Every structure is written in structure tokens, then in C-alpha cells.
Structure 1
Amino acid sequence: MQRAEQLSEEPTTSLAVLASPNRTTKVVLSSFTAALCATFVGYPLDTVKTRLQTYKYPNFWQCITTTYAESGLSAFYRGITASIISGSTARAFTMSLYTSLLPAYASLLGVANERSTVVTFASGMTAGAASTLFTCPFEFTKVASQVEALVYRSRGLPEPKSMGTLRAVKDLLRRGGFMRLYGGYRYHLMRDSLGSAIYFSVYEHAKQTVGSFLPSEDSKPNPLAVATAGGVCGVISWVAVYPIDTMKSHYQRDLYHHSLASSMEFRDTVVERPKFKISLHMYRGLGFSILRTSLNGMVLFSVYEYLMHLGPPAH
């Protein structure tokens, strides 16, 4: 109890302070590097997740072996270029915006503690929503890259020799131009705004709760508390928004499938928006997603907190 009381009286930690330009730069660089590490670690699992969501496999192992048979390990990293550009940059933007919004929302809501649930939830939701304007085209490209071999196969088309991000972009742009890359935006917006709100609020609460039972060095958070909180916030937020992500993946898969249609078929076919419903089907691939997002959160926040506390404090 005494440790918990001390924590509540301490100044806000790295995710809750943005006091100077130097600190802003440190937040951006630290979050970008952390997101880069997390992307490389979790991307193969994300590919499996997307395929399990959009196509029927007897089990996850069949999905893995089928993917590997296409082009070895590289098949699991298709579309990672878009994910690195959008994911790492967006995470740096989101975390920077999140930290700057904390004092603003605390003042607006009349809350003294910037790490309170209502403040972190509102800040996370706003930051997540803002990031979608940049990330949606890259996210759609990533999904298309992950399923393109399956889409070509389902249409009875020969698979092109060169597959990946650039091929997926070309296929999408040929039908609808640049705005086609924003297909499924409403699902993307719902997922990232709600997901980020839960993600950051759970992380702050879990880090403080777990940290109250563990020793820490000066103002540095305990590494175990950070890793635990990163894993927990990823799982809880992902379980909450997974049905929305499934709808997004289904819709974007159908749009990409549609982009390969002939001119006549393109005019006669309408891609229907999936209806929101909670069912076991909407949670297909959740097990892999939990593993991915838990690992992603642990790596992301562990690297981020380490870099933020590396060297002399930024003033």
C-alpha cells in the first residue's frame, strides 16, 4: 500500500509527460525504434492472423504450412514494407500525440491526475483516430499483400512472378485510383480509435498496478511491470476490437479481389459491406492474434521505456 501511495504522488512517467522540444524528439525517436522492433518480431504472426480471418483453413498449422510453401519465410513478410513505413511512423505519431494530449484533456476534464483512466482513454482515442488518416492506405496495402497469392488463386489467375507491396498497390490503383487505398476506412477508424483508447489506458493502469508490487530504480519503471503491462494492454484491446478488424479484413479482401476483375465484371459487381455481428466466426484467428499482440506490446513498450530512460534525462 505504501508503495502504491508513493506512486500516485510521483510525477507522471515517460508516457505522461511532454515538457520540451528535446523530450518531444526523444519520444518520437524512441517510439519509432520500438515500433520497428515490434513490427519485425510480430509481422509473421500478423500474416497468419490475416489469412485465418479471410480464408478457411482446417487449422492454424495448415495455414502456416501453406504460407511457407509459397516462398518460404519470405511469404510471412509480404507487405512488411508498408507496415514498416506506416506502422513505425504512425506509432511514433500516435504516442507523441497521446503524450501531448494528456495535460490538455486533464485540464479540459478537470482531472488532477493525467494518468487517470478517463484522461488516458480520451487521449488514446483521439490519437488513434488521427493516425488513421495516414495509416489506412498502408494497412490496406499490407492486407492485400498478405492475401494476394490466395486471391489470384481463387480467381484462377496465374500468380505474377513479382508479388508484394508494389504489386498490391498497382492492382488496387487500377480500379478507383488513390482513394481505393482508403477502402474500409470506417472500419479502420472504429478499430484504431477504440483500440488505442483501451490500449493506452490499460497500459498505464497495469504498469502502475504491477509496479506497485515490484522494486524500481529512481523514476525508472520496473522492466517486468512494463513488459507485463505491454502484453496485457495488447491482449485486452485486441479482444475488444477483433470483430471490427475481421470485418475490415473481409471488406478489404473483397475490394482487392474486385480490383482484379475484368472491366465488365467490375461494372456489374458491387462489394457489400459486412454487417457487424458478434460470432465465433468473427474471432477466427484470435489465438494467433493474442500471441502476436501480446508479444508486440511487450517488445514495443520494453524498448520504448528503455530508450526513454537511456542516458541523461531530456530537459
Structure 2
Amino acid sequence: MDDSNRSGNAVLNRVVIVDALQQNKTVACATAASFVSTLAGYPLDSLKSRLQASRVPMSVPSLAVAVFREEGVAGFFRGLWIPLMTISAVRAASFTIYGNTKEFLKTRDLLTKFNFLNVAGAGGLGGAMAGALISFGSAPFELMKIRRQLEFSIALEKGQKCLKPPGTLQALKDIIQVAGFRGLYTGFRLHFLRDTSGTALYFLEYDGFRYLMGRRLSGEQGDPPTWLPIHPTLIPFLCGSLAGVTSWALIYPLDVVKTKVQQRALAGKPRRTVLETLHRLIRGPDPDHPKPVVSGITRLYRGLGVSALRSVTTHGLLWTVFDYVSGYIDRLPRKLED
């Protein structure tokens, strides 16, 4: 093959690749961003789940030291591969549904005026639709993640000693063997409610923050407001972090209840209602000697600090990488330079 044929094939391949990336830009951006942010935030997510399930109050550093001593570095990343793969797919689908919902509203001339309420409202509706639909696919994988993260505490609930935690496939088989395939949707109603409301709040806040920070109708970033003169490249991280932290703080008690309900079910103990679980978390298990309400609410928000740190890290990185990859794809030339 002569040089001209090679050059022609290279140009054709380049055009095909660039076209594919541009046509599937949302999927490419969300997948890359999710991979980076999930990997960076997973150790903090693991500590968050352990703090929520623990009966003994512990500081984050103390818990981290205990996990390292008992399980080594691998303990912080137990169950990583499931969310690393699935969360990337879920976020790609979530961003696609969110974008398509906003496009649907636009074609119906709904929430199209370029002001804060309309921009945030469209983002919230897109997020609610994404969270509701995605929850059906993500629930089993999140249950498996919690199962892997809480191997030792679940074994303790059963009165057993977990010398060697089962692998992901074995844990999956154990759940199906005990409760059938329906067992993979243990706590689904709470999961659905958390994801729908949480994702709605998240996208509502992110789009609202980006509007306040100078994003134009075209989607390009304009000059930051005079009251917060920061470099434009930092705006996605700032807005993503704020949206992640504040939306998560609002739904955090619901996530704690969900984790406790799922932990109890995985340990094979009799199920409690959501209200009963919430009451026991706030007032304690002894009705004759209830805990002070303030102490109970503090218990309900156990792990929020590490969860907030995780949200700052993961959601800030998520939108930073998303915007970077999006801009990179937009700048790709379709032809090779001479």
C-alpha cells in the first residue's frame, strides 16, 4: 500500500472516530468523568457506609485506621469493580435522560425562558426523570456494593466471624439463594425515592449554580460574576461540589435509613418499617430509656462529614472532567493536518 492510500485511510478513520465521539458526546464525557470521580471517591464512600452501619460512634480517622489494620488497603476498595463499571454506565444513561428531558421541554416550549427559575426547573425535571428511570437498574448493583462494604458487620449481625469475605459473585449467589432475584431489590422503594429526589435536587442546583456563575444560553461559560471572580476553569468543580454536597445533605437521612434497612435484611433479621427504623435511629432501641432527640439526630447524620468530602471530590471532578472532555471533543479536527 503506497503512502497516499495510507494517508487516505488514516483520514477516513479519523473522520469516523471523530463523528462517533461527537454523536455520542454525552456518553463519552459521562463515562470518562464517572470513571475518574468514582475511583477517586470510593474509599470515602466505603468509610461512609461503615459509619452509617456502625453502632459505636467513631471518628473518620479512627475508622480508617481500624479498616487498614483489619483489612489492609484492599478494605477501602472492597467492591470497587461493580460501581466502577456500573456507575459509569448509569451516569452515562442518567446524563442522556437528563439531556433528552430538557430537549423535550424545549420542543414543547416549556421552561425555555433564560432565567434562573426556568433553567433550574428544567434541570430538576430532567434530574427527576433520570433518577427515577435509572433506579430500576442501579438498585441491585448498589445493594451488592453495600453487601461487599459491610461484609464484616453483616457477619457480626449473624453472630459469625468473617475470616475471608466472599467475592462479588459469591455474594450475589448468596443473596439470590436466600431471597431469590427479588432479593436484589431489597429496600428498592427507599432507593427509588432517594435517587429520584436526590438526582432532581442535584441537577436543579447544578444548572442553577452554573446560570448564576455566568453560563450563556448557548451552554458556553461566560465571565464569572463580579462577586466571585474565579478562573472559569474552576467553575465546573465549584458548581459540581456545591450541588453534590447540598443535595446529598438534604437526602442524607433517607440514605442512612436505606442502608440500615438493607443491612438488616442482608443479615437475615426480621424487617422493620421505615418509620420504625427512623424512630430507632433517633430515639434508640429502648423505649423506656430513649436517647435525647439531639443525640439521635446526630446519629442520623453520622458519616455526613466524610460523605460531604466525598461529594466535593467526586462531583467536582465529575463536572471538571465532563467539561474538559466535552471541549476536547468539540475541538477535534475531522481532517489530518498536512
Fold in common (TM above 0.5):
yes
Contact 2:244 2:312 in 1 (8 A): yes
- The corresponding residue for 1:90 is 90
Q: Distance in 2 between matches of 1:178 and 1:81?
A: 21
Q: Are 1:187 and 2:187 matched, yes or no? A: no
- The corresponding residue for 1:99 is 99
Structure 1 residue 160: deviation in Å? 4.6
Unaligned runs of 5+ in 2: 1-18, 215-221, 226-230, 283-296
Q: Are 1:303 and 2:321 matched, yes or no? A: yes
Contact 1:24 1:96 in 2 (8 A): no
Structure 1 residue 137: deviation in Å? 0.2
User: Paired residue for 1:249, among 234, 241, 259?
Assistant: 259
**5 Å matches for 1:44-123?**
44-55=43-54, 56-108=56-108, 110-113=110-113, 116-123=119-126
Contact 1:44 1:76 in 2 (8 A): yes
CA change 1:164–1:70 in 2 (3 A) is farther
Identity score, percent: 28
Q: Distance in 1 between matches of 2:30 and 2:178?
A: 35
- The corresponding residue for 2:289 is none
Contact 1:105 1:122 in 2 (8 A): no
Contact 1:148 1:168 in 2 (8 A): no
User: Could you give the per-residue CA deviations for residues 197-224 of structure 1, whole angstroms, max 9, x where no partner exists?
Assistant: 1111111121232246539xxxxx9221
- The corresponding residue for 1:40 is 39
When normalised by structure 1's length, the TM-score is: 0.82
Q: Point out the more displaced range, 95-104 or 105-114.
A: 105-114
- For the residue of structure 2 that corresponds to 1:138, the secondary structure is helix
**5 Å matches for 1:140-155?**
140-155=143-158
- The corresponding residue for 1:168 is 171
Q: Point out the more displaced range, 186-195 or 201-210.
A: 201-210
Structure 1 residue 251: deviation in Å? 0.7
Structure 1 residue 24: deviation in Å? 4.7
User: Could you give the per-residue CA deviations for residues 111-134 of structure 1, whole angstroms, max 9, x where no partner exists?
Assistant: 224761211111110111110111
Q: Point out the more displaced range, 171-180 or 29-38.
A: 171-180
The structure that has the greater radius of gyration is 2
CA change 1:166–1:70 in 2 (3 A) is farther
Q: Point out the more displaced range, 149-158 or 89-98.
A: 149-158
Structure 1 residue 282: deviation in Å? 1.6
Q: Point out the more displaced range, 146-155 or 190-199.
A: 146-155
Q: Point out the more displaced range, 277-286 or 79-88.
A: 277-286
Structure 1 residue 23: deviation in Å? 4.2
Contact 1:106 1:113 in 2 (8 A): no
- For the residue of structure 1 that corresponds to 2:111, the secondary structure is coil
User: Could you give the per-residue CA deviations for residues 145-204 of structure 1, whole angstroms, max 9, x where no partner exists?
Assistant: 101112213433232535342232222122111110100111111111111111111111
User: Could you give the per-residue CA deviations for residues 237-277 of structure 1, whole angstroms, max 9, x where no partner exists?
Assistant: 1011101111110011111111xxxxxxxxxx521133256
User: Paired residue for 1:137, among 132, 135, 140?
Assistant: 140
Q: Distance in 2 between matches of 1:121 and 1:110?
A: 13
Contact 1:49 1:286 in 2 (8 A): yes
Q: Distance in 2 between matches of 1:140 and 1:132?
A: 12
- The corresponding residue for 1:28 is 27
Contact 1:230 1:300 in 2 (8 A): yes
Q: Distance in 1 between matches of 2:223 and 2:253?
A: 35
User: Paired residue for 1:201, among 201, 204, 208?
Assistant: 204
Structure 1 residue 63: deviation in Å? 1.5
- For the residue of structure 1 that corresponds to 2:321, the secondary structure is helix
Q: Distance in 2 between matches of 1:106 and 1:247?
A: 37
Structure 1 residue 73: deviation in Å? 1.0
Contact 1:86 1:134 in 2 (8 A): no
RMSD: 2.3
- The corresponding residue for 1:16 is none
CA change 1:229–1:189 in 2 (3 A) is same
Aligned length: 281
- The corresponding residue for 1:237 is 247
